[in-house]
Amino acid sequence: MKFYISPSIISADLTNVRDEIKKVESFKDSFLHLDIMDGNFVPNITFGPFIGEQLRKLTNIPFDTHLMIRYPEAFIEKFAPFSHFITFHIEATMFPFRLINTIKSLNKKCGVSLNPLTPVEYIFDILPYVDLLLIMSVEPGFSGQKFIKETLSKIRKVHEFRNKNGLNFLISVDGGVNEETMPLVLKEGADVLVMGNFFFKKDFDFVRNTIGKLRGEI
């Protein structure tokens, strides 16, 4: 089974970040997930563009930049130089089409994200225009939370909508992704697995074997 992994750098050992990034690089079909939090849209603060610029010097792996910030339109151009995907929250803007156009004008892939309580039907009209849909399976802001099981039906609905309409955006899932939940979200149609503690905190041989088995490589 083909799927992408997108480990979140905020769960890594940042005192040893070069080696942590090498772990991600050791997998094919991988991105590095950058969680950008402003302390306003979510009750936590991570880092700004400067850190992303420094991380870019360490690797060529595609950066999957997730903006958990209010007024994302004011910051798109600051994060674009080092990003492959730029994802904004539908709940954070009144102008999603304008944001999509801005991101694509910078030659970046555009993603849109949904909080757990936002119905997937709310963004059906913009899915033909994006490259990725990020479905939050926990409340955004902190790693290590428990997977919200109702996310599975949301993934299924989006997967069916994509197939019915002949679309090709990626379905990404973020929150509580581990050895127990990965098979469940993949079964419903997920393409990208954003992972934090599972990838960076658990025994790396276990992580490699778990992902390898799901991909049919072991």
DSSP 9-52: GGGS-GGGHHHHHHHHHTSSSB-EEEEEEBSSSSS-B---HHHH
3-state secondary structure of 131: coil
Give me the DSSP letters along 66-105: EEE-SSGGGTHHHHGGG-SEEEEEGGG-S-HHHHHHHHHH
41 is in an annotated binding site: no
Question: Does the annotation list 137 as a binding residue?
Answer: no
* HSE (side-chain half, CA atoms, 13 Å) at 10: 19
Is 124 assigned a ligand-binding role in the annotation? no
The answer on whether 176 is annotated among ligand-binding residues is yes
Catalytic residues: 35, 174
Determine whether the annotation assigns residue 30 to a binding site.
Answer: no
Residue 4 DSSP SS3:
strand
Question: Is 35 labeled as ligand-binding?
Answer: yes
Known binding residue 48? Answer is: no
The annotation status of 191 as a binding-site residue, yes or no, is no
141 annotated as ligand-binding: yes
* C-alpha distance across the termini of the chain, in Å: 12
The annotation places the binding site for substrate at: 8, 66, 141-144, 174-176
Which residues are documented as binding site? 8, 33, 35, 66, 141-144, 174-176
| Binding site members for a divalent metal cation | 33, 35, 66, 174
